[in-house]
């Protein structure tokens, strides 16, 4: 065999590899690339697997099982809308029918729904529950005669109005509650069109509730209705409400208008409480610029606008003239204490105003005792029946501007009576009538006891402590005499700035003096009195109190960091005025006698009047024994066992007060 041939055959594969080495390198590179890609994919899958395991470990086993079987998912765990409550106030049945139609639409979404007649609903007990219920509350309310609510919604609207202006509830009382309002009305009554719907919307907003969709306004006047009929108005609003409801279930804060980025609308501001109506917007279009080119047919409309403006200008000038004349003649004729602005402010706070300087208001404890839920402290201390107590004043004016005033400083101030004066007979008559009218509104209200309602119509006590300084009224003694002639007991509160009037005061069932501080400096800072000699007047008032033979009480007002550290000075003031009570101070033979024998007082005061003031009597002549439940340490803790104690569900908010 040829050696050269063997050598060639042996080396030919190596030569072939050498010649094709480029393809070999390329194959190796491709293989390594595949291996690297494979490792990356494996590691990513392993990371995802571990992540799922860690999430699964944070979920309870029972929940994981349900998730595995396909019943629930983590995305659906949070419930954003738990249901819908539809409240209606109807007179003819239209609002009730709309409520049923809305309920049907809500049911189609698979949401729980409740339709509630406002006549059977107690907002004092249940409305605050909607703060945390995750419900959406829809109110379908009609406006009745003269802009008033229907009979079925009257109590709800009254409660809501008072709560919205009562500082004890505050602007966050219903924060967290979601609501929508549809009102029914007739634009033929322009001054009262949809007034109830507007008010309910406003009052809920003032209490902190969140409006989820703009208020709807249905119009029975088919000519002026925006959509041709009240039914069509409701259908349009219902569509908006249902659409908004679906958005809320998905977690959207506001309905998307299309002009947004990444699904978030640029405008997320909450609606204002008062929206402009189409009528208000169109009114501005009627008045065109006289300098513009107009049709001959439109000249009549434009001239009417010009004439209207001219009449308004003349009327304004006439009013200005009357104001100037009134200012000139002020010295010759006394003005009314209640100005239009003051009347508006006090009416919003729930006052029923009488004449030109008096008022009456229903106390929350009157409402409470009508339901058998207990009375105020005066029931425990002195035996007052709170549901038969009328809180009033013959003078809204005061001589102080106290820092703790819970009347919002809306009342006028002065150091002497400089207003025109109403007669006491008229004041008492209208006070009783207004009080009875307010009591009548509780007829049929859930929880009100029939026997308490009947008793509440007969006033037995009068608390002259509503607002202002009642002793400023020049005819206060005649007013007290009229009360006693009607067998109504008198509880008068004074701010200790009128010592002469206290000295001349005829017998009252119980006379209170507000002792707001014990030193001159602290009294000036706290009460901010108008009198320059306020301290001497204060001391003289306490001395005048000591000379009274009937029941007297010091009412201490302690304000933290203002007047709680002056204990010795308070003790000296107690010695000066020698009151019968500070809180409790009457013991006979080892037993407490803090209650009042009201029938005996009426007998004694009649004897006093018949004798021309010669036959006097003292506080001890009409005391009554304190019941065991009202004593300190009793298991009832001062609560009358005839009533049922009621605790508000929203305990985080303190709305105590009287």
Structure confidence by residue, pLDDT tens digits, 247-264 = 998 887 654 444 444 433
Out of 2-6, 9-13, 269-273, 525-529, the most confident range is: 525-529
Asked if residue 657 has pLDDT above 60, the reply is no
Give the confidence band of 459 by pLDDT, cuts at 50, 70, 90: very high
Asked if residue 286 has pLDDT above 80, the reply is no
Q: Which of 250-259, 266-275, 484-493, 581-590 has the weakest average pLDDT?
A: 266-275
Across the range 382-403, mean pLDDT stands at 90
* pLDDT at res. 45: 64
* pLDDT at res. 67: 40
Q: Is 282 helix (H, G, I), strand (E, B) or coil?
A: helix
Distance between the two ends of the chain, CA-based, in angstroms?
131
User: In percent, how much of the chain has pLDDT > 90?
Assistant: 40
Across the range 390-417, mean pLDDT stands at 80
Out of 208-222, 458-472, 476-490, 607-621, the most confident range is: 476-490
Across the range 581-604, mean pLDDT stands at 78
Give the confidence band of 288 by pLDDT, cuts at 50, 70, 90: very low
Token pair for 482: 């009229």
* pLDDT at res. 71: 39
Give CA 561 to chain center in angstroms: 29
Asked if residue 401 has pLDDT above 50, the reply is yes
* pLDDT at res. 642: 84
* pLDDT at res. 287: 40
Selection from 116, 49, 344, 101 nearest residue 236 by Cα: 101
* pLDDT at res. 281: 36
Give the confidence band of 485 by pLDDT, cuts at 50, 70, 90: very high
Asked if residue 560 has pLDDT above 90, the reply is no
Token pair for 468: 């202002």
* pLDDT at res. 150: 92
**Who's near 402: CB < 8 A, 6+ residues apart?**
516, 526, 527, 528
* pLDDT at res. 46: 59
Give the confidence band of 277 by pLDDT, cuts at 50, 70, 90: very low
197 and 182 Cβ atoms separated by less than 8 Å: yes
Across the range 524-538, mean pLDDT stands at 90
Beta strands in 90-214 (DSSP E): 113-117, 135-142, 178-185, 210-211
Q: Is 430 helix (H, G, I), strand (E, B) or coil?
A: helix
More confident residue, 243 or 350: 243
Torsion of CA 544, 547, 551, 555, to 10 degrees: 30
Asked if residue 519 has pLDDT above 80, the reply is yes
- For strands 264-265 and 510-515, give the pairing: unpaired
User: In percent, how much of the chain has pLDDT > 70?
Assistant: 75
334 and 420 Cβ atoms separated by less than 8 Å: yes
Give CA 260 to chain center in angstroms: 36
Q: What phi and psi, each to the nearest 5 degrees, are found at residue 207? A: -90, 5
Give the confidence band of 321 by pLDDT, cuts at 50, 70, 90: low
Asked if residue 382 has pLDDT above 70, the reply is yes
* Cα within 13 Å of Cα(536), Cβ side: 3
pLDDT digit string (tens) for 24-64?
778 888 888 888 887 777 776 655 555 445 444 444 444 44
Distances (CA, A) of 4 to 7, 10, 107, 193, 657: 5, 10, 100, 121, 123
What is the chain's mean pLDDT, rounded? 80
* pLDDT at res. 266: 39
* pLDDT at res. 445: 87
pLDDT digit string (tens) for 84-93?
999 999 988 9
List the Cα angle 423/425/430 in 5-degree steps.
100
Across the range 564-592, mean pLDDT stands at 77
* pLDDT at res. 317: 59
Asked if residue 323 has pLDDT above 60, the reply is no
* pLDDT at res. 284: 38
Neighbours of 18 (CB within 10 A): 10
* pLDDT at res. 64: 46
* pLDDT at res. 233: 94
CA–CA separation, 517 and 498 (whole Å): 17
């Amino acid at each position: 065999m040829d050696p050269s041939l063997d050598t060639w055959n042996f080396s030919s594969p190596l030569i072939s590899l050498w010649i094709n080495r480029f393809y070999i390198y390329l194959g190796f590179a491709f293989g390594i690339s595949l291996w690297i890609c494979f490792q990356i994919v494996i590691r990513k899958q392993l990371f995802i697997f571990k992540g799922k395991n860690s999430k699964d470990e944070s979920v309870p086993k029972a929940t994981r099982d349900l998730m595995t079987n396909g019943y629930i998912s983590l995305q659906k765990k949070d419930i954003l809308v738990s249901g819908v409550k539809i409240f209606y106030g109807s007179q003819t049945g239209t609002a009730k029918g709309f409520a049923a139609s809305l309920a049907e639409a809500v049911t189609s979404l698979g949401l729980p729904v409740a339709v509630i007649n406002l006549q059977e609903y107690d907002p004092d007990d249940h409305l605050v529950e909607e703060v945390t219920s995750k419900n959406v509350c829809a109110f379908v309310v009609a406006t009745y005669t003269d802009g008033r609510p229907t009979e079925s919604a009257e109590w709800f609207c009254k409660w809501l109005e008072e709560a919205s202006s009562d500082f004890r509830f505050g602007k966050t009382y219903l924060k967290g509650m979601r609501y929508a309002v549809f009102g029914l009305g007739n634009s033929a009554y322009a001054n009262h069109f949809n007034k109830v719907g507007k008010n309910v919307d406003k009052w809920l907003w003032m209490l902190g509730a969140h409006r989820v969709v703009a208020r709807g306004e249905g119009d029975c006047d088919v000519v002026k209705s925006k959509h041709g009929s009240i039914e069509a108005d409701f259908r349009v609003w219902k569509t908006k409400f249902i659409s908004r409801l679906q958005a809320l279930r998905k977690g959207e804060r506001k309905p998307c208008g299309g002009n947004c980025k990444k699904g978030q609308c640029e405008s997320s501001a909450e609606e204002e409480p008062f929206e402009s109506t189409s009528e208000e917007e169109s009114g501005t279009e009627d008045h065109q610029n006289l300098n513009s080119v107009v049709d001959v047919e439109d000249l009549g409309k434009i001239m009417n606008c010009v004439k209207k403006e001219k009449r308004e200008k003349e009327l304004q000038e006439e009013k200005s003239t009357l104001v100037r004349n009134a200012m000139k003649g002020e010295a010759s004729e006394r003005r009314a204490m209640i100005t239009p602005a003051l009347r508006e402010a006090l009416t919003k706070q729930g006052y029923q105003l009488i004449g030109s300087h008096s008022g009456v208001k229903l106390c929350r404890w009157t409402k409470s005792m009508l339901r058998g839920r207990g009375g105020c402290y005066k029931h425990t201390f002195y035996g007052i029946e709170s549901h038969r107590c009328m809180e009033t004043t013959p003078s809204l004016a005061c001589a102080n501007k106290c820092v703790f005033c819970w009347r919002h400083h809306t009342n006028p101030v002065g150091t002497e009576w400089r207003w025109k004066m109403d007669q006491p007979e008229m004041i008492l008559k209208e006070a009783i009538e207004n009080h009875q009218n307010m009591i009548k509104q509780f007829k049929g209200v859930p929880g009100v006891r029939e026997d308490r309602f009947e008793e509440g119509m007969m006033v037995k006590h009068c608390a002259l402590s509503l607002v202002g300084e009642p002793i400023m009224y020049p005819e206060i003694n005649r007013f007290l005499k009229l009360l006693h002639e009607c067998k109504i007991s008198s509880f008068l509160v004074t701010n200790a700035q009128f010592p002469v009037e206290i000295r001349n005061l005829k017998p009252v069932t119980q006379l209170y003096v507000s002792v707001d501080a014990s030193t001159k400096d602290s009294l000036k800072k706290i009460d901010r009195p108008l009198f320059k000699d306020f301290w001497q007047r204060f001391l003289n008032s306490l001395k005048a109190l000591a000379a009274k033979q009937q029941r007297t009480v010091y009412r201490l007002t302690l304000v933290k960091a203002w007047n709680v550290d002056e204990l010795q000075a308070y003790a000296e003031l107690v010695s000066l005025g020698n009151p019968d009570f500070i809180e409790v101070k009457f013991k006979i033979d080892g037993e407490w006698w803090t209650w009042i024998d009201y029938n005996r007082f009426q007998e004694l005061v009649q004897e006093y009047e018949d004798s021309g003031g010669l036959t006097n009597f003292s506080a001890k002549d009409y005391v009554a024994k304190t019941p065991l439940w009202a004593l300190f340490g009793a298991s009832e803790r001062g609560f009358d066992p005839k009533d049922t104690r009621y605790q508000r569900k929203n305990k985080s908010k303190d709305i105590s007060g009287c």
